Amino acid sequence: MVAIFIFLGNLRTTLIPAVTVPIALIGTFAALAALGFTINLLTLLALVLAIGLIVDDAIVVLENIHRRMQEYGETALVAAYRGSRQIAFAVIATTLVLIAVFVPLSFMQGDIGRLFSEFALTLAAAVSISTLLALTLTPMMASKILKRDMHEGRIAHGVHRALDASRAAYRRMLERVLRWRWPVMALFFALIGAMVWLNAQLPREYTPRRIAAPSSC
């Protein structure tokens, strides 16, 4: 939450992810119970990985609502409606991509399928619930909590200035890349070929080798 406060720069905006993240985790535990899963190493690993995705959904929606209030002068209610509607497709599409990546792991045969089915389904449940909350609870709380005359703190102002500088540097770099797009494309395909070749050279094993600790008698 400290990192969220630094970037959002206001306690009111920080309160919304602080509420939505625990609710998403509680919903994920309910999904685990419905699926008959237990809390084990793999489900906990999935929850750890899902926390970043859960926070990201809420912040993306919240930041767009806050931006519309600052740039267009909209009220909190109007900005919450239009801001969440504006990026709903992007948030849903991101969630569907994540589900499409992880859920097929649960259909794998053998030991790998048995090991990673709980991991994959837990992660899919977490991101699905977080998306639902980001498009429902987050706009509702934003319409009630956010104010149009909110001012960012000194730390947040410094962070935003640094982000603006990095955005300007990225724009300059992108202009150079577009100017030399054919050499850049050639380099890209050369790197892809090198990755394929290196992947073919790497040895494969079921689990990583253990390095035995030296023992003294």
Span 41-66, mean pLDDT? 87
Which residue ranges make up each domain of the chain?
A: 2-152, 153-199
Q: Which CATH superfamily is domain 2-152 in?
A: Multidrug efflux transporter AcrB transmembrane domain (1.20.1640.10)
Condensed to tens digits (0 to 9), the pLDDT of residues 106-132 reads 888 777 777 788 888 999 999 999 999
* Rounded CA separation 26/23 (Å): 5
pLDDT reading at 212 higher than 60: no
Higher-pLDDT residue of 176, 204:
176
- Specify the pLDDT at position 150: 64
Span 28-50, mean pLDDT? 89
pLDDT reading at 215 higher than 60: no
- Specify the pLDDT at position 102: 86
Span 8-18, mean pLDDT? 79
Residues in the chain: 217
Beta strand spans in the chain (E): none
Q: Which residues contact 43 (CB under 8 A, 6 or more apart)?
A: 32, 37, 118, 119, 122
* Rounded CA separation 30/9 (Å): 33
User: How many alpha carbons fall within 13 Å on the CB side of residue 146?
Assistant: 31
Condensed to tens digits (0 to 9), the pLDDT of residues 137-191 reads 999 999 998 887 666 667 767 777 888 899 899 999 999 989 998 999 999 999 9
Is there a contact between 130 and 57 (Cβ–Cβ < 8 Å)?
A: yes
- Specify the pLDDT at position 9: 66
| Percentage of the residues of the chain whose pLDDT score is greater than 70 | 87
Is there a contact between 60 and 92 (Cβ–Cβ < 8 Å)?
A: no
